[in-house]
Structure 1
Amino acid sequence: MLTRMKIRMLIDAGAQILEMDNLSLAKAWLRIDNEAPAVLYFDAENKPFVLYRHGVRIPLLASPFADNLGDCLVYLDEAHTRGTDLKMPWNATGALTVKRKTIQCKVAAMRLRRLATTQSVVFFAPPEVHQSILDLRQKKSKDSIDSYDVICWLLEQTCSGIEQLQPLYFSQGADFCRRAQAAIDNPDLLVDVDQRETYLQALKQTEHQTLEQLYKPRLKSKSAMNGPFSPQIAAFMKELNVRRRGFQGLGNAVHGSALQEVEQEREVAYEVEAVRELQKPIHYTPLSFTGPHRDIVSFVETGRLAAGSAGYEHAFKALKRTGLGLKYGINEEATTSKFFISKEFPRTVNLTCANDNFLRQVHWILWSALTETALVITEEEAECLIPLIQDSKRLPTHLLTYAAPVTRKMLHFNDLSYYAIPALPTVWKPPGWLSIELGIFAGRLYFEFEEYGGICKFLGVEVDDTRLPNKADDAETLGELLCPADVADDTTDEDLTHTPMGYVCQGKLLTANHPFFAKVENDGVPGPGKTWPNKVSGRKDAGVTGNSDEIAHSDEYDGYDDCFDVGEDEDEDEDGISDDDDEETITDNELDEPSAADDVGDV
């Protein structure tokens, strides 16, 4: 049925698929569909994964389908029909399952955002739901059912659900009247201890009850309100009683009222379980800035750093004092380059121990072509030095701008020519060691393939096309290779395993045709000479481009219904897929989950 109707998105809102887990269903779907290259599903840890036809499974953000789902199949189980927003192709056809008592707001049909124009959906329901629709629409068993009949049935189920909740509405309204009257009867509760205690007793409800207290026959409901009320509260309570008499004649409402007390007990237990201890943020004392060091000013004017000055230090000597540097160790003597930072750069707040959360980002660099020396400075120092650089006609130093690429689409600043004061010569290129060491110090995650060999050589990684890169035995390295999962406690919680620098830290091989190095054009396809394996094409004439179909994750986006983030904003990682040698093959007997990855940019 799915293949014949060319279904591309299966939304199990009715929880009809119970005998198979998500991975098993994805495999079974690929076996019957001979056209789709892969299927998207959510694993047991609620992470989106793409399963390819040959058995390889990789995260969605590390696959080309992160930019364009195209012909990829999509399966959403009941737990992910709400809170997941995947922008499907313009002509996608979806399948939606429903069950008894499915209400309109949980049907999840709007996972297809163009349902009213070019997309379509097919409803799948068990026999009892089919018969219920026929009874509601007064049709015979041989009559056909269309979408209008299904929507009418969903709205009727929604109204029935609201009617069944009326006893709970009455209970909440009566409880509100009781609390409001207690506040009126004790106006001085903030200053009078006795009134405060009386008010608190009125707010409390008996949580633990015996079976006799719960189920013994009562002439009146436990929630019945007896006693004097203020005129405003009395009018409100009178209206509640009128509504109560109205729903008492409904069989479903009466049945719901019988279990009302038990329902309240469950809600209280859940609320108590969700209580979190409030932990106030720690306030740190910011360090004061007194101005740039005189030796840095002299460096701007002469292009030479004073030997043994206290105004600067080598960059990797400072990196050695960070939390990751203390944990893994950094050999500062492995490099003899002239790459320094100002003494002001690591100073942010007053700390008693190393805390990498307060490390600055690298944005401003002083470069002396005379001595080929680079000095990273702070924003405050740059602000003080810019007038000096602009006023002088002939200075041997340049102020360069830089930003470490942390996403695949971010502009690369490796040539350091984006903006310079004064302007650099048109033929100037930075030394290779500067781009590499600057990127490692600044936490760069993405780089051009031309720099791959230099980075591996700098880190002491032996690159061989016939095998994975290994640590060179005779190389004096900056530090041991790190797996992003090993630094999970020291960095952010972002999954950075599938980034070029993550591959280097894990010792995985990278090739020139890897999607990491594909040039993404405006239409979302690789540039000349670059290809993506299993690339999915979109129809430009239909208004669909290859640009990234963002997966939104915001509590403000369409309510809670669409507050899932697989990739968060477009500034998050959007990676290429792994090479076959590096990817993980999934079998029925063994499913190895990839380790959680974290930021490796600081080492």
Structure 2
Amino acid sequence: MMVRPVEWILWSSTSETALIVIPEEAELLIETLRTIDEPRVWLLSYAATVTKSMKPFNTLNFFTVPSLKERPVFPVWLSVEVGVVAGRLYFDYPEYKPLLAWLGVCERSEVVSTDAAGQLQSPKVSHPEHRGLSIEMPLKFLFEWSTYRRETLEIKHTPVGFVCESRVLKSDHSFFKATMGASEAIDQKPVTLLVNGNQGDKDGDQESDDDVEWDHLDDGMGMDGAADDEFIYAEELSKGEADEGNLGD
């Protein structure tokens, strides 16, 4: 059975209630919401963050219908619960502890106790009434559900994979370091590459001194081979024309 991806969420800020809707329902809701002067619910676009570069979608305010005048602040539980249902693999560090709490997994005495492998020592499961997920083995469930959603078992090197293996996550982990945005990338100065220890061409109008290193790959073919053949052909053609001229005389 295929589970459809989570793409739209109907959100009420008044009652703090969220409802996942399918695209067909969202299409009908968009027409209605655009005609309301003072809406009480909003349609939020969503995409499960399966790579680090997709983390902007995790904010839930990437695209809303109707448009919001001010940047909204959503409760953490909304991102946590929608993320689990959608099968996301990446999340922001502020959601780490709330995710553990929702799963019912807590660190012993609220102090991270790790072994040599950096794993939590026997993570405890809180009482069902204190958590959002009532299941005996929440970490096993999260792993099986996430791999089913993503249709792959290769999730170990993601934040969700770390949680499933009871591995400790710190705020300075590479998972949570900010990635360069598109605007920042545009403002960056051009970078000159070093080719075999030499500075590369700045404007691309200079020939590399190291082209000879590629000659053995051509083996008489390619640009160098073609140039040699053309030179030989032109030389023979000129010689033939000269001979014809001598015969004519």
Instruction: Name the TM-score class by shorter chain.
Output: 0.5 to 0.7
**Which residue, out of 57, 73, 90, partners 1:413?**
57
* 2:12 counterpart residue number: 368
1:542 aligns with 2:193: yes
Deviations 1:228-280 (A, max 9, x none): xxxxxxxxxxxxxxxxxxxxxxxxxxxxxxxxxxxxxxxxxxxxxxxxxxxxx
* 1:466 counterpart residue number: 113
Q: Secondary structure at the match of 1:393?
A: coil
Q: Which residues in structure 2 correspond to 1:292-331 (within 5 Å)?
A: none
Q: Secondary structure at the match of 1:450?
A: helix
* 1:482 counterpart residue number: 140
* 2:224 counterpart residue number: none
CA distance in structure 2 between the aligned counterparts of 1:413 and 1:443, rounded to whole angstroms: 14
CA distance in structure 2 between the aligned counterparts of 1:395 and 1:441, rounded to whole angstroms: 26
* 1:402 counterpart residue number: 46
Instruction: Give, as a single letter, the amino acid of the residue that structure 2 aligns with 1:466.
Output: S
Deviations 1:87-133 (A, max 9, x none): xxxxxxxxxxxxxxxxxxxxxxxxxxxxxxxxxxxxxxxxxxxxxxx
* 1:496 counterpart residue number: 155
1:437 aligns with 2:84: no
Residue ranges of structure 1 left out of the alignment (5+ in a row): 1-354, 524-538, 545-603
Q: CA deviation at 1:424?
A: 2.3
Q: Is the 8 A contact 1:484 1:496 kept in 2?
A: no
CA distance in structure 2 between the aligned counterparts of 1:543 and 1:493, rounded to whole angstroms: 38
Q: Is the 8 A contact 2:87 2:146 kept in 1?
A: no
Q: Secondary structure at the match of 2:54?
A: coil
The TM-score, its normalising length taken from structure 1, stands at 0.27
* 1:254 counterpart residue number: none
The TM-score, its normalising length taken from structure 2, stands at 0.62
Q: Is the 8 A contact 1:483 1:502 kept in 2?
A: no
* 1:518 counterpart residue number: 177
Q: CA deviation at 1:494?
A: 4.6
CA distance in structure 1 between the aligned counterparts of 2:37 and 2:55, rounded to whole angstroms: 31
Q: Which residues in structure 2 correspond to 1:179-328 (within 5 Å)?
A: none
Q: Is the 8 A contact 1:445 1:502 kept in 2?
A: yes
Q: Is the 8 A contact 1:499 1:516 kept in 2?
A: yes
Q: CA deviation at 1:444?
A: 0.8
**Which residue, out of 23, 30, 35, partners 1:379?**
23
Kindly name which structure, 1 or 2, has the bigger radius of gyration based on alpha carbons. 1
Q: Is the 8 A contact 1:401 1:419 kept in 2?
A: yes
Task: Identify the structure with the greater helix proportion.
Answer: 2
Q: How many residues are aligned here?
A: 173
CA distance in structure 2 between the aligned counterparts of 1:503 and 1:393, rounded to whole angstroms: 45
Q: CA deviation at 1:435?
A: 1.0
Aligned-residue RMSD, C-alpha: 2.8
Q: Which ranges of 4 or more aligned residues in structure 1 deviate by more than 6 Å? A: 483-489
**Which residue, out of 76, 91, 94, partners 1:447?**
91
Q: CA deviation at 1:513?
A: 1.3
Q: Is the 8 A contact 2:43 2:65 kept in 1?
A: yes
CA distance in structure 2 between the aligned counterparts of 1:522 and 1:543, rounded to whole angstroms: 25
Q: Specify whether residues 443 and 543 from structure 1 end up closer, same or farther in structure 2 by C-alpha distance, changes over 3 A only.
A: farther
Instruction: Give, as a single letter, the amino acid of the residue that structure 2 aligns with 1:508.
Output: R
Deviations 1:1-53 (A, max 9, x none): xxxxxxxxxxxxxxxxxxxxxxxxxxxxxxxxxxxxxxxxxxxxxxxxxxxxx
Q: Is the 8 A contact 1:364 1:382 kept in 2?
A: yes
Give the share of equivalent positions with the same residue, in percent: 35
Q: Secondary structure at the match of 1:410?
A: helix
Q: Secondary structure at the match of 2:56?
A: coil
